[in-house]
Amino acid sequence: MQASRIQGVQDPREGKKSHGPAKRQRKTQKLSVAYEASDDEKGEGAKLPEAPGWEPPDWQQQLVNIRTMRSGKDAPVDQLGAEHCFDPSAPPKVRRYQVLLSLMLSSQTKDQVTAGAMERLRARGLTVDSILQTDDSTLGALIYPVGFWRSKVKFIKQTSAILQQRYGGDIPSSVAELVALPGVGPKMAHLAMAVAWGAVSGIAVDTHVHRIANRLGWTKTATKSPEKTRAALEAWLPRELWSEINGLLVGFGQQTCLPIHPRCHTCLNRSLCPAARSRGGP
Ligand code: SF4
């Protein structure tokens, strides 16, 4: 699911601009001069600049190729992801709650099924209060057939009660608080931060991102879980690309780099992809 910020919502991590006195600025400049290397330090024995860390050899071209293949923006995630499932005319905290709910419904579920469940829920007015007033069997019937719908009924009720009691009906604005909610995992938390709060907190890694990162060699060694893949990607991928990666790779995984029988013959990365080569590709 691609991250796009809810309009008019302030990034909670954005601080106020500094308006400190000019005197302090002059002091800072002076300090940076004091740390410049002296002539002696520049000579023999001077500390060499740190070597850049590991990064996959062809990642920049691979990324350009994926952007080209995804330029049509016609994958299910592009029309039905979390940023399309909330009511844009609802108050900000209701929109944020709807984003979180759509993410909770989306695990182990196709985007089309999640979108259908969200439509049925929104038709009744989807707020923390309305969910708490809905009995479990009605809620189950509304979200069916999302994956693990029985467990999700329980988690949605528990999480909604916590949001009402502790957060005034809003959702928390940190990954740590989000993952503490029943039924909310790290991928959902990072996407909620991006879509609901407009904050880049980490790379949201689902099964598509996990699989494709391993196929392309974007992890230094093979990783066995999405959380390990997230850490491996965040170790080298420039931070300004973190919010783009989820939507880009999810759609790529839905259309080309399929879980079984990936369409390597139509993939622009076939000559750069270790997985294509290992399958006897070009
Ligand atoms: S070449 Fe095949 S395995 Fe590699 S990224 Fe493309 S579709 Fe996926």
Cα of 267 vs centre of ligand 1, distance in Å, is 6
10 Å CB burial of residue 231 (0-12, 13-18, 19+) is middle
Ligand 1 near 276 CB (within 6 A): yes
* Cα-based distances in Å from 8 to 88, 89, 198: 11, 12, 10
Do 118 and 24 have their domain in common?
no
CATH value at residue 64: 1.10.1670.10
Do 238 and 219 have their domain in common?
yes
Which range marks the domain in which residue 281 is found?
56-74+203-282
Do 23 and 103 have their domain in common?
no
Do 93 and 194 have their domain in common?
yes
How many independent structural domains does the chain possess? 3
Gap between the Cα atoms of 12 and 198, Å rounded = 8
Residue nearest to atom 8 of ligand 1 (CA): 257
Do 183 and 219 have their domain in common?
no
Where do we find the tokens 């783009």?
Answer: 244
pLDDT average, residue stretch 117-133: 96
> Band of the pLDDT at 282, cuts 50, 70, 90?
very low
Residue 45 has pLDDT above 60, yes or no: no
Residue 208 has pLDDT above 80, yes or no: yes
Model pLDDT, residue 81: 80
More confident residue, 48 or 234: 234
Instruction: Tell me which residue of 215, 222, 212, 219 sits closest to 255, measured CA to CA.
Output: 212
Tell me the range of 30-34, 39-43, 183-187 where mean pLDDT is highest: 183-187
Do 29 and 128 have their domain in common?
no
pTM of the model: 0.79
Do 217 and 171 have their domain in common?
no
| 46-67 pLDDT per residue, tens | 455 555 589 999 999 999 999 9
Do 114 and 172 have their domain in common?
yes
Give the range among 5-19, 150-164, 248-262 with minimum mean pLDDT. 5-19
Ligand 1 near 257 CB (within 6 A): yes
Residue 281 has pLDDT above 70, yes or no: no
The answer to whether residue 50 sits within a structural domain is no
Cα of 70 vs centre of ligand 1, distance in Å, is 14
Query: CA angle, corner 235, sides to 234 and 241, nearest 5?
Result: 40
Catalytic status, residue 42: no
pLDDT average, residue stretch 121-131: 96
Do 192 and 259 have their domain in common?
no
Cβ atoms of 273 and 216 within 8 Å: the answer is yes
